[in-house]
Amino acid sequence: MNNQPTILAIDQGTTSTRAILFSMELEILAVQQKELKLYYPRKGWVEQNPETIWQDTLEVCHAILEHTANRAEAVAAIGITNQRETTILWDRSTGKPVYPAIVWQDRRTDIVCERLRAQGFESMVTARTGLLFDPYFSATKIAWILDNVAGARARAVRGELAFGTIDCYLLWHLTGGRVHATDVTNAARTLLFNIVEQQWDTDLLALFGIPAAILPEVHDNAAGFGMTDSALFGREILVGGMAGDQHAALIGQRCFRPGMVKSTYGTGCFALMNIGPDFRLSQHRLLTTPAYRLNGEMIYAVEGSIFVAGAAIQWLRDGLGFFQDAAASETLARSVLDSNEVYFVPAFTGLGAPYWRSDVRGMISGLSRDTTRAHIVRAALEAQGYQTLDLMAAIEEDGGYQAEVIRVDGGLVTNGFMCQFLADMLNRPVEVPKVTEATALGAAILAGLAVGLFASLEATEHYWRRDIIYTPAMTEAERKRLYIGWKAAIQSLLHPSRNAVEPAASDSRQ
């Protein structure tokens, strides 16, 4: 039996909860996964059951430990990575949530964000948090729960309630309610954490009407967050690493040097560029965010957020019944020579960076009698290339670096058509690693750092292996033609009145 230490990564995502066991060489030993249901109680509202998230987490962890030779005794540490911004408030004495988890995709606080922007607060908020006013982030979700759940605000002021993003909620339960803490990357996505001063900001708390009593402590990404309750796994295990999913993927892709970029294609798409230790504001309405903080030293990133990537393919499968298996999308896309001038803008929950228009919705344009489902599927995959290209010029200008190559991960990168089109539109190589579970891998690296399995982040670089490289194969003329069509589709969505048909003017010659 192999008695080498292992690392258990919990990857709690938007649509599934997974546990992945890694070796010291950062190879995957075992994976357990459980699908997670999303609820849509009203248009624009997206919720999850927090207690289901916790029970699913326990289930996949138990399953992975029971069905591997390396049982709990061999686990040196646990790392947690999570869907960011999703908001939970729970009772400190019972652990029961006072309301369902409000998911990052939820748009119910649109009006609040618009009002605050109109009042002129956004520049101050951006200078402190690197973020913009958008329902995406946690602050307005917290305020909504406090204002709409009977007695919640009074209980919060008395210190009876705790707020947390998913990482914090899981840590609280894993430690038997002893630890209420989060990491700097998750704290930074709340609109309440000053990423320059690196602390909760009293002015921002006052702006959103949120009592400080509900907030968790904020730690480095590799730290002794707490020991698990011994009853859970038969022994105590240190939770040593935590990071929001996109930051964890940056680490998993070993983007440790300024100018390195990773782009993750899961439910949404998130591209991050490491920009080093100096905070700088975006000039293109992108986000400045912590990449990670270790030993008190902050490294920043510029981030472009696309709300819908793989979710578009999921919608074509589940909503329209175009195919039964997401893998069939590649076969369909390749069955036609092009998209037949069809453009698919998957703004199901608004447009993210660089547009930040929460009021618009998805659109398929260019339909004709000879449009087939293959053309629409191809257009949905091509949209990922267009959306990423929208981001890259802005990211490079904001970050001050030219990305030589893009490292990609996430479920959608198994689609070779999408990856090749991405390389063609970006006009630079796209690398897919052998271990595409970059998010969980990043959490494992952080946990390993905390217990001394790795001397430094850089010490893990030689474990990174490339599986496939996609190189550009499209002419500049074709790239430009396709992108002009995409920009026209975007403009027709953002400014529909410009495309309205004018009523016929009277003709004086008649």
Q: Which pLDDT value is given to residue 337?
A: 93
Question: What tokens appear for 240 in the block?
Answer: 């040593």
At 499 the pLDDT is 54
pLDDT for res 308:
86
The pLDDT assigned to 22 comes to: 93
CA angle at 61 for the pair 59 and 65, rounded to the nearest 5°: 120
Can you tell me which residue has the tokens 């850089």? 458
Query: 302: part of which helix (H) or strand (E)?
Result: strand 297-306
Domains, the chain, ordered by start: 6-256 (3.30.420.40)
Torsion angle in degrees (nearest 10) through CA of 123, 129, 135, 138: -150
pLDDT of residue 349: 80
What string of DSSP letters covers 31-69?
EEEEE---B-SSTT--EE-HHHHHHHHHHHHHHHHHTSS
Is there a contact between 156 and 146 (Cβ–Cβ < 8 Å)? Answer: yes
Closest-CA residue to 395 (of 248, 292, 288): 288
The contacts of residue 158 (CB under 8 Å, 6+ apart) are 213
Q: Give the residues of the chain that fall short of pLDDT 70.
A: 1-2, 68-70, 72, 497-510
- Amino acid identity of 200? W
pLDDT score at 41 = 94
Residue pair 220/163 in contact (Cβ under 8 Å)? The answer is no
pLDDT tens for 308-350 read 888 899 899 989 889 888 788 999 999 999 999 999 999 988 8
Asked if residue 147 lies in contact with residue 210, where contact means CB atoms within 8 angstroms, the answer is no
Query: What SS3 string covers 421-441?
Result: HHHHHHCCCEEEECCCCHHHH
